[in-house]
Amino acid sequence: MKRGLRRGLIIAAFGALALVGAVYYLSWPVRFPEFVSPASPSEPVTTFGHRVTERCVNVPALGPEPLRARLVVRSLNVDRTGGQTSLQAIVRSDGRAKPGPEALLRLRGREARVVLSVPPVREPARVCIRGRSGESAQLLGIGATPALRLERAKSQPRLLLLADLLRRLSLGAAIALPPAGAITLLLLTGCALSIALLILLRTLFSRTFNSHRKTIAGLLVLAWAHAALWALLVPPFQVPDEQVHYAYAVYLAQHGTGPSTRGRFTDLASPQEAAIHAAFQTGSVAFNPSGRPPWSDQLRHQIDQVTALSNTMADVSTNATGQPPLYYFSLALPAVIFKTVPQQLLLMRMISALWFALLVLALYAFIGELQPGRPRLALAVGIAAALFPLGAFLGGGVNPDVALAALVAVTLFLGLRLICYGGRWLAALLGLGIACLSLVKLTGSALAPAFLFFAILGTLRHLRRHGGWSALRSTAAFIIGIGMPMLLYTAWSLVSSRPLLARAVTDQASAVAGSTSVAGRSVREFVSWAWQLYLPRMPWQQDLIPGQPLKDVWLSGLAGRFGYLDYATPSWTKVVVAVMFICVLGLAALTWARNHAQRDRQCSVLHDRRVRALAAVLPVMTGILLVVIAWADYTSVKAGGPPFRQARYLLPLLPAFFALVPAAVKSVPVRLRRGVGVMGIGVCVLWAASALAATINRYWL
């Protein structure tokens, strides 16, 4: 009776929280961004100093209502106290200037967002920002364009926009379904996510935990439904590099071989794909937070017309051409079944969501193997991973980053099993996992050597317990497991006339920039570049990377920057991510220090072996990944290409982060662990809900 009452109270609490969140979300007013330029400010474009300096931006006619101008400004008065800078927004039209009120900025060596009032812009005009002070400040932006965000001064509750939202969703153009099918699939996916979450929470807080099959099924449904919901809400080709990964998979299905690495460089490989981009106005929506696809009744008719075009992929070179084919083989079936881009893309996204589900299940198994007697902890980690917004966003798109992270988690799990239990089959599976890691993405080839340590430990264990013959058989099984996929890949590459070691991303960036070589590189400069990419710049270092990558790239990206990094979750998520990381890292360090000081031997021998193995593998894997990202970013910028820094490249480090959770939990008092778990999962639920709400605002309202 008491147990049923407790479960009912927990379910009622989560239901009430969801109801309050929905009412709050629908009743809160929306400020509509009218003009945004650019999306991610990072460079100083204007310095306001001792004389009047202004910077202007051309804006279209935005209507008769007053606007609010939001700017990103950096103060230069580091050595002074009480420094202040006055800014003023002016609208120029036909030679006439309509100044707005000034805003006083008080800063000391940091960035801030300044809000200015702008008069109505009834016709195309220029909005100019002028400085009036003896103090110095910088207006930030990209490419000599200030970061200007114009919003309507008036707002409207989301509840009044619900009917318009349902009408746009009923078009079904973005998900290639009939109008009724679009709404139905969204509702079914949302219901599956909610039911799976409630079942897992009930299992997590129950007294007995002996239903591993139901737990695995619940995590599978939760992770897949979360990624599928993103797949349904994000318009076509609004996931980073989705168009090139889609073209690779379709070309592979149509020809059986990979695209050439020496063909003409382009993002669009078929007439139908180019027409779909034009119909959804992908170019004007990407990188523009105020842009929306043309949700109108004519869009359905236009899609029906363009799908009659040919979708035969040309043999061209793209950003994805040099990647290995494993991920694209898993997406080839939709291109065989369907012939139109929307249907192929939808089913590819649903299959890619299975990769995200594999990542969640692998993390659950990995923590369960690391802590064999604590299934609740593994389940809590699985729920938190399934609710991770960035992973679900990438899993709901055509992108191999989640597949790489999933195979990293699977390989870590197999490595732990091998060093604890041994066996030829585990050795063969570990070799297969390392080979698949190398065949899913180029980055996996760099990470693969870190996992050879598991094979060495497994061989030594066999040598001590079963003799040399058993160790030899285990080694042979490992070599066969890693060699067979590589032989198949070699044969496929020869048939496709592709080099075994394809061009790196930085080489392709050089080709795009029109450069054939990367000049001016030095080891000392690269070391400084790598340091500034991940850590705060030291006073004696030259400022090589504008802005603050630790906060602007990695923290903001992991907290949730979606689309083409043109919209994000609310600002409180950055604080949550930073606090969670610091708490887990600090508590894990405290546990490690206590065990080292007290020589705690309560853990089993198997557990100690696992910890020692991970302590050797995870730092090497982390260091390799960070160096690879830094080198790609450094050489790409040196070659004149775009920066190679996005938070999604850190997804393979998810197992390394969750491996610290068991150690961190040991430093939490026993009586507080249940409350900490409830609070952590509640925060993850709000985090995922806020990311989905931001996506609805971004593309559908």
The pLDDT tens digits of the residues spanning 71-128 come to 777 766 644 445 566 777 777 766 667 666 666 655 544 566 677 777 777 777 778 8
pLDDT at 394: 94
Output the pLDDT for position 467: 62
Pick from 242-251, 348-357, 494-503: least confident: 494-503
Q: Is the pLDDT of residue 466 over 70?
A: no
pLDDT band at 603 (very low <50, low <70, confident <90, very high): very low
Distance CA 521, CA 633 (A): 12
Alpha-helical regions (H) of 51-178 = 162-171
Q: For residue 307, give every residue at least 6 positions away whose Cβ sits within 8 Å of its Cβ, in sequence order, or none.
A: 272, 340, 341, 342
The distance from CA 597 to its chain's CA centroid, rounded to whole angstroms, is 39
Tally Cβ neighbours within 10 Å of residue 319.
Answer: 18
- Of 441, 438, 472, 466, which is closest to residue 452 (Cα–Cα)? 438
Q: What is the pLDDT of residue 24?
A: 64
How high is the pLDDT of residue 515? 44
Q: Over pLDDT 90: what percentage of the chain?
A: 17
DSSP strand E in 4-124: where?
29-30, 33-37, 43-48, 54-59, 67-75, 84-93, 96-106, 111-118
Tell me, what's the pLDDT at 423? 76
pLDDT of residue 652: 93
The angle, 0 to 180 degrees and rounded to 10, between the axes of the packed helices 242-255 and 341-370 is: 100
Class of domain 33-154: mainly beta
pLDDT digits (tens, 9 = 90+) for 65-86: 777 787 777 766 644 445 566 7
> Using H for helix, E for strand and C for coil, what is the string for 424-491?
HHHHHHHHHHHHHHHHHCHHHHHHHHHHHHHHHHHHHHHHHHHCHHHHHHHHHHHHHHHHHHHHHHHH
CA distance 62 to 91: 12
DSSP-derived letter for residue 74 is E
Q: Which residue has the higher pLDDT, 134 or 168?
A: 168
The answer to whether 359 and 395 are in contact (CB under 8 A) is yes
Q: What span, in angstroms and rounded, lies between the C-alpha atoms of 405 and 574?
A: 22
**Cα 275 to chain centroid, rounded:** 27
pLDDT (tens digit, 9 = 90+) per residue, 329-340?
999 999 888 888
Give the C-alpha separation, 645 to 319, whole Å.
Answer: 15
Maximum average pLDDT range among 136-140, 367-371, 536-540: 367-371
Confidence of residue 587 (pLDDT cuts 50, 70, 90): confident
- pLDDT confidence of residue 654: 93
Q: Please, how many CA atoms are within 13 Å of residue 157, restricted to the half-sphere of its CB?
A: 9
| Range with the poorest average pLDDT among 13-17, 314-318, 374-378, 457-461 | 13-17
pLDDT of residue 227: 95
Q: What is the mean pLDDT of residues 212-216?
A: 84
Omega before residue 372 within 30° of 0, cis: no
640, 642, 643, 649 alpha-carbon torsion, rounded to 10°: -130
Lowest mean pLDDT among 367-381, 414-428, 565-579, 600-614: 600-614
**Confidence at 468, pLDDT banded by 50, 70, 90:** low
Indicate the residue type of 378.
A
Q: How confident is the model at residue 348 (pLDDT cuts 50, 70, 90)?
A: very high
Q: Contact at 8 Å (CB) between 440 and 324? A: yes
For position 91, what pLDDT does the model report? 77
Q: Would you call 267 helix, strand, or coil by DSSP?
A: coil
Looking at every residue in the chain, the average pLDDT score rounds to: 80
Q: In sequence order, which residues have a C-beta less than 8 Å from that of residue 467 and are 6 or more positions away?
A: none
Beta bridge partners of 44: 140
Alpha helices in 146-206 (DSSP H): 162-171, 179-204
22 has pLDDT over 70: no
Phi/psi at 305 (nearest 5 deg)?
-75, -45
Residues, the chain: 701
Closest C-alpha to 166, from 338, 318, 26: 26
Parse the chain into domains and list their residue ranges.
Answer: 33-154, 400-503, 531-667
Mean pLDDT computed over 288-306? 79
**Once rounded to an integer, what is the mean pLDDT over residues 585-591?**
86
Closest to 46 measured CA to CA, from 134, 139, 116: 139
Angstrom CA distances, 411 to 408, 427, 622, stand at: 5, 11, 15
Mean pLDDT score, 263-270 = 74
Torsion 17-22-28-34 (CA) sign = positive
Handedness of CA 458, 464, 467, 468 (dihedral sign): positive
For residue 233, what is the enclosing H or E element? helix 212-233
DSSP letter string, 472-539: HHHHHHHHHHHHHHHHHHHHHHHHHT--SSPPPHHHHHHHHHT-SS--S--HHHHHHHHHHHHSPPPT
**What pairs with residue 36 in β-bridges?**
149
Under the banding of pLDDT at 50, 70 and 90, the label for residue 275 is: confident
Rounded to whole angstroms, the Cα distance separating 87 from 114 reads 9
Cα–Cα distance for residue pair 386/396, rounded to 1 Å:
12
DSSP state of 637: H
HSE (CB half, 13 Å, CA atoms) of 554? 17
